[in-house]
Structure 1
Amino acid sequence: MIELPEPPRLSVPSTTLKTSYLVGEQADMKHRGSDASWLKAASLDFDAFVAERTGVRERWGVASELFWFASGEYYLGSLVIRHELTDDEGGGHIGYHVVYPWQRQGHATRMLKQALVKCAGLGIERALLTVAPHNAASIAVVRRNGGVEDRINSEGEMRFWIDTASA
């Protein structure tokens, strides 16, 4: 296993992570059997790619912010915080993923913990997360961070609420 140079943290997207980001996302897409063609445009103009993902932007009809989870030169995953819920509450406040090479090492748990602190700073007292019922790893991550199951939403996903003050 690679020894990381420092504890990973959420940070704004950065051009300094170009190679690690592109390799990590490509490995993740291949592992999932997903289309990775979007990475071509990102690789050709990474500065513009990063610029489009930096700062508070309207996504899904609400203000949201994208973060990368990284340690030094190593990109480990991405996380988005929606500053408010969408009308249908689909996706909740926080969405995250750890790229395949870095999965099952506790990074998602630490990433979500840091996101809950950011949510508290935004005045979000209870964060909603939604998880596919077959995603046991993500369910465990949410529960480790204090997630309390609510119900199944209209998209068939499990809903969990987390008190951000406990983060």
Structure 2
Amino acid sequence: MPELVLPTTSVHESFLGAMDEFVAEGAENSQTAAWIEHNAPGWQDPAAFETFVEAVKADALLDNPRPDWHVPCTTLWWVDGEDYLGRIAIRHTLNDFLLDVGGHIGYDVRPTRRREGHATAMLRGALPWARDLGIDPALVTCDDDNVGSILVIEAASGVMEDVRGTKRRYWVPTGS
């Protein structure tokens, strides 16, 4: 049964396979694409992968060094045993860019595991985490033509506020 977990080295092999899928797909403009761009060559080495995992977890800490345009972010991985299925990021605050484009929550599912309900389950599972971070409601955005994400967000009771450029902006309640 898939579950949301903090990043872990136990999915190393599957994670590498998922990243290969994202590269083959031409992933861009996402947290996963940035990970690939900055870390991919070293991931083969278990020690380098462990360093990467610890850095992703540390990004949630308020005092962790980060570029000026980044905000603290809790990243959770959607895994089934040792199988990496996707990731979801909960950004603790919104800067101007996130308010317009990125939102509080962003997610992706590895290409070969899409259309199986994983994104819907991940978003629903992440909402209590967001609530515990003091986020309610959460801004979740998607491309205006991404029918799959539109359905995922609306299934989580997202209410569309507007479309800015090519991005739909939804507010999703996190409270119980």
Map of 1:80 onto structure 2:
89
Gaps of 5+ in 2: none
Gaps of 5+ in 1: 1-6
* Structure with a larger share of its residues in strand: 1
Change over 3 Å in CA distance of 1:29–1:145 after alignment to 2: same
Map of 2:41 onto structure 1:
40
Count of residue pairs brought into register by the alignment: 159
SS in 2 for 1:16: helix
Task: Deviation per CA, 1:39-93: give whole Å up to 9, x if none.
Answer: 2222232111212111315574321111111011110001110011113413110
Q: How does 1:7-86 map to 2 (within 5 A)?
A: 7-32=1-26, 38-44=39-45, 45-55=48-58, 56-57=60-61, 58=66, 60-86=69-95
Task: Deviation per CA, 1:13-47: give whole Å up to 9, x if none.
Answer: 11111000010121122133768664222223211
What is the TM-score when the length of structure 1 is the normalising length? 0.87
Deviates more, 1:139-148 or 1:47-56: 47-56
Distance (whole Å) between structure 1 residues aligned to residue 128 and residue 54 of structure 2? 24
Write out the 4+ residue segments of structure 1 that deviate beyond 6 Å after TM superposition.
none
| Partner residue of 1:120 out of 113, 120, 131 | 131
> Identity rate of aligned residues, in percent?
34
Change over 3 Å in CA distance of 1:82–1:33 after alignment to 2: closer
What is the TM-score when the length of structure 2 is the normalising length? 0.82
* Structure with a larger share of its residues in helix: 2
Contact 1:64 1:80 (C-alpha < 8 Å) held by counterparts: yes
